[in-house]
């Protein structure tokens, strides 16, 4: 088995993860949450996002769920202002 690299302390950081409801996006969201980042979890499937939120909370992390399809240009146009109104900056972006 391959040794996993250690993720530095990300307490107080905000991480936006797309494709967060499954696969690599889900795994990265969990890893970043374990390191202390608040996760902005974006995916098309609300049920998958809710399961991710449960898992992140179980490890003591926090997340904000953003159910949306990145193919929807109007939704993307609304996303930036909505995030800017709630979060001072996004420290980490994981486009998956």
List the CATH number of the domain containing 56: 3.40.50.720
The runs of H, that is alpha helices, within 10-86 are 23-34, 46-58, 73-86
Whether 3 maps to a domain, the answer reads: no
Asked whether the predicted pLDDT for residue 4 surpasses 80, the reply is no
Token duo for residue 34 = 């374990």
Q: Range of 66's domain?
A: 14-94
pTM for the model stands at 0.91
- Quote the number of domains for the chain: 1
Q: Is residue 5 part of a domain?
A: no
User: Looking at residue 5, what DSSP letter applies?
Assistant: P
Would 74 be classed as within a structural domain?
Answer: yes
Separation CA 61–CA 54 (nearest Å): 10
- The answer to whether residue 89 sits within a structural domain is yes
Q: Does 31 map to a domain?
A: yes
Q: Tally Cβ neighbours within 10 Å of residue 20.
A: 32
Tell me: the pLDDT tens digits for 18-40? 999 999 999 999 999 999 999 99
60-84 average pLDDT score = 95
Residues 6+ apart with CB under 8 A from 40: 14, 15, 16, 17, 63, 64, 66, 83, 87, 90
| In-domain check, residue 66 | yes
Residue 40 domain flag: yes
């Amino acid at each position: 088995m391959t040794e996993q690299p250690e993720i530095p302390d990300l307490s107080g950081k905000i991480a936006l993860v797309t494709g967060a409801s499954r696969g690599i996006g889900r795994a990265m969201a969990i890893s970043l949450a374990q390191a202390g980042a608040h996760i902005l979890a974006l995916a098309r499937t609300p049920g998958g996002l809710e399961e991710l939120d449960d898992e992140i909370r179980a490890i003591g992390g926090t997340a904000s769920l953003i159910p949306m399809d990145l193919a929807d240009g109007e939704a993307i146009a609304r996303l930036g202002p909505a995030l800017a109104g709630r979060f001072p900056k996004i420290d980490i972006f994981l486009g998956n």
